[in-house]
Amino acid sequence: MRTAQQRQGDWAEQRALRLLRQRGWRLLDRQWRCRWGELDLVLRKGQRLLLVEVKARRPGACDGGGLAALRGEKRLRLARSWACWLAAHPDWQRSPVEMVAALVPLPPARLPVRWIRLEG
């Protein structure tokens, strides 16, 4: 049974995925796990890869809509998880990759998703 927080995360991932599919991206993996953590969305467009960390927040959250959750340790876990994903998918190792965060406001807000580029 999924918790309310997990269901909110699933909803936010689906919203981000829908927007990216409209832009021509194709899903490779969703909620991919390894010993270091989880990759929310891994997509491709041609030979380019897009790694998306999704943060679902209520408007006015004290962590900047999810920005504060993307510092230090979280970035290290993302980098390690990404290295594991590449090791498991060697055909993609030479592809250019962009890492972004999708800050998704939860209902009832009708605010747009904020996209933040994460440096490697």
Q: What pLDDT, on the 0 to 100 scale, is given for residue 62?
A: 56
Q: What pLDDT, on the 0 to 100 scale, is given for residue 67?
A: 64
Please name which of 105, 19, 37 lies closest in space to residue 73, comparing C-alpha atoms.
37
* Domain positions in the chain: 4-118
Q: What pLDDT, on the 0 to 100 scale, is given for residue 47?
A: 96
Q: What pLDDT, on the 0 to 100 scale, is given for residue 71?
A: 73
* Total residue length of the chain: 120
Contact between 57 and 66 under an 8 Å Cβ cutoff? The reply is yes
Q: What pLDDT, on the 0 to 100 scale, is given for residue 64?
A: 56
Q: What pLDDT, on the 0 to 100 scale, is given for residue 118?
A: 87
Write out the chain's pLDDT in tens, 120 residues: 889 889 999 999 999 999 999 999 999 999 999 999 999 999 999 999 999 999 998 766 555 555 666 777 888 899 999 999 999 999 999 999 999 999 999 888 788 999 999 875
CATH class of 4-118: alpha beta
First-last CA distance in the chain: 35
Q: What is the pTM of this model?
A: 0.89
Q: What pLDDT, on the 0 to 100 scale, is given for residue 18?
A: 98
Cα 26 to Cα 44: distance, rounded to the nearest angstrom: 5
